[in-house]
Amino acid sequence: GNQKTTHSESSPGKKSQHAEEAIFYKNCRAAYLTVLKSSLENIKSKEQLSLVLQQAGRNPSQKTINKYWTSQTTSLNFDDFCAILKKEKPATKNELLEAFGKIDTDQAGYILHDELCKILTTRGDKMTWEEVASITKQADFNCSGKLDYNKFCELYLSTSEQCCKAARDRLETDPRLRQQQFGNQTENFPEGIPLPVSKPSPRLSRKTDHKLAKSDSRAPSRPSSAQSSKVSTSTTVTVRASSSRNTKLIIEPDTMKDWQRAQSRGCFYLEEAGEILSHKYRLHLPQRSALCVTIKPLSIPQAEGKSCHWLSVDTALFILKENETQENLQLVSFTELQNKEMFGWRGELGAGVYWLLPFTTGCRLRKVKTQITGEAKLVWRDEDGELALTKEFRAALLDIFETIDLDGNGLLSLEEYNFFELRTSGEKCDQEAWAVCKENFEMKKNELTRQGFLDLNLMEANDQDGDPWDLWVTLLSLGYNKALEMTEACPFVIDICAERCKPRIKAISLEAGGSQLSRAVCRSVVNKGEAKVLDGSENIFIYTYRSGSRITSVIENKSEKKVIIHVNNEQSKNCLNNRGLTVFAVEVAPKSMMVSQHVMALNEQEEWIYSCVHSLV
């Protein structure tokens, strides 16, 4: 039944408290990530501790640092840092003025430089003469050998706030920082997927693997609040070598040889910030029919003999039913069966219109820094000074042609060409411009041939007098690197076989998956996976589901407030995940669910172990 919100949970005071906590932890993360790469990376020295405290608007004395970093301390984590900030409040203007007032006994508002220097170099955290001189030389609050401490306090506080704001702005404006360092996936609806009406969770398992996290044996100087145990749940899945690619999807040519078929190609493109775009499709079935739906990476003939990075990328297809509106498509099924690199689904669908949303986890389609010795040459001039495409560039263009030829007929229609244009230039080619192309480049049945596509790119090179800049913009946007290797894209092919009707598939858009795909991924894991509840927190569920060669976990937050979950994969073996971090944290909005992580084998020829602990902060 519907979960009712209690009066206390919805009271203004409670909401205000939650809002203050959210701002506090946001400031903590912003300061922490200014100094460290991840919110789960530890502070390893007094100097780092001092730096992160300063980034949070504090000005810790050596006495303060020593209070939290004793001779036994080897490291402090993000929890420790948050606890320290709760204790060490930033200085207020009144407190600063009161401190200066004890020196300025005449209440003149000024302190002589000589007197200030004597105090700062002989008391408390003793400063050097040079450090004091750097203060007294500041014209903003010094005049005639005196320090105006009212102005000094104002500048001190404004500088401190600017420092905090710069840290927050950096966290907000850097999508890679938000995604990789604190777990929220920009491509997967960061706020979380709102939950439908609550229902009992399937396959709910309370009896195993619910335990308190191991107690921390580090320095006793850690704040007491950070020493308290976290509620956690662990999940372990062991997969034998290559078993994840065993044949589960059986396609029988004899029984399907008379079925009617439809096919479309497409491509996943990796954006700069890690977001993945792909084609989306509409499937029309004129009548109810048994179906076989498959998706796999596209093997390009021209790429044979080359290093085809994309062939190891995992693919999936989510089938959604179209209702009166497209705002909330209903998940019908997804390609959970696997045969080598192919994923598929067999079943029966009624007549109507369906959406097909391609998906990849991002475990293997990701930003990778590779050392490229030299930039490939794209054009050259012959003996007559005429521009020509290099052999390597021609081969890359023919590979691209295969990728953007969505129906695989060896020709590019205006519609297919426009997907290429939208990806590379952000613009479309209209009928008039297409007619001009027809006059200048080889076409058949009003569709561009391979040779016409090559000549079109040669014309662009001639327009720039051989400058390859625009050509490289095109190549990079299509996932190629400067060595002409396609490393940040994955072309794929979708096959639809129907027993009793002719299926029709049509590419509709090229865009990020968005909330519809995120909701479908989460719902598939919740429907099919094993559910575990965090002991002591009955509104937080962890769902884990293995589909062929990948494992996905989803966090569902049924409570009225956001939660922060630490995710630890340190005991996993031979694994890689889509976040690129062994330990990270995710923030799950109230009444929502989100993907915690996708995990795959690093080497499928060896056994791999997924061992993950989810802990509630």
Residue 327: Cβ-neighbour burial (10 angstroms; 0-12, 13-18, 19+):
exposed
Q: What is the pTM of this model?
A: 0.68
pLDDT at 126 over 80: no
- The residue written with tokens 């962890």 in the block is 542
Tokens of 178: 């938000």
Burial 333-346 (b: 16+ CB within 10 A, else e): bbbbbbbebbbbbb
CATH number of 379-486: 1.10.238.10
Topology of domain 253-368+489-517, CATH = Jelly Rolls (2.60.120)
Q: What is the mean pLDDT of the chain?
A: 82
On whether the CB atoms of residues 565 and 614 are closer than 8 A, the answer is yes
pLDDT at 390 over 80: yes
On whether the CB atoms of residues 265 and 416 are closer than 8 A, the answer is no
CA atoms of 491 and 486, how far apart (whole Å):
10
Residue range(s) in the chain whose domain bears CATH number 2.60.120.380: 253-368+489-517
pLDDT at 248 over 60: no
Residues 432-472: tens digit of each pLDDT = 999 999 999 999 999 999 999 999 999 999 998 889 999 99
Topology of domain 232-245+524-616, CATH = Immunoglobulin-like (2.60.40)
Residue range(s) in the chain whose domain bears CATH number 2.60.40: 232-245+524-616
Q: What is the mean pLDDT of residues 82-89?
A: 88
- The residue written with tokens 């409040």 in the block is 89
Q: At 2, is the pLDDT very low, low, confident or very high (cuts 50, 70, 90)?
A: very low
CATH class of this structure's domain 12-90: mainly alpha
- Phi, psi angle pair for 145, to nearest 5°: 75, 20
CA atoms of 294 and 316, how far apart (whole Å):
8
Residue range(s) in the chain whose domain bears CATH number 1.10.238.10: 93-171, 379-486
Residues 163-177: tens digit of each pLDDT = 778 777 777 766 545
* Architecture of the domain made up of 93-171: Orthogonal Bundle (1.10)
Q: Between vectors from CA 243 to CA 240 and to CA 246, what angle results, nearest 5°?
A: 170
On whether the CB atoms of residues 56 and 209 are closer than 8 A, the answer is no
Supply the pLDDT for residue 286.
Answer: 96
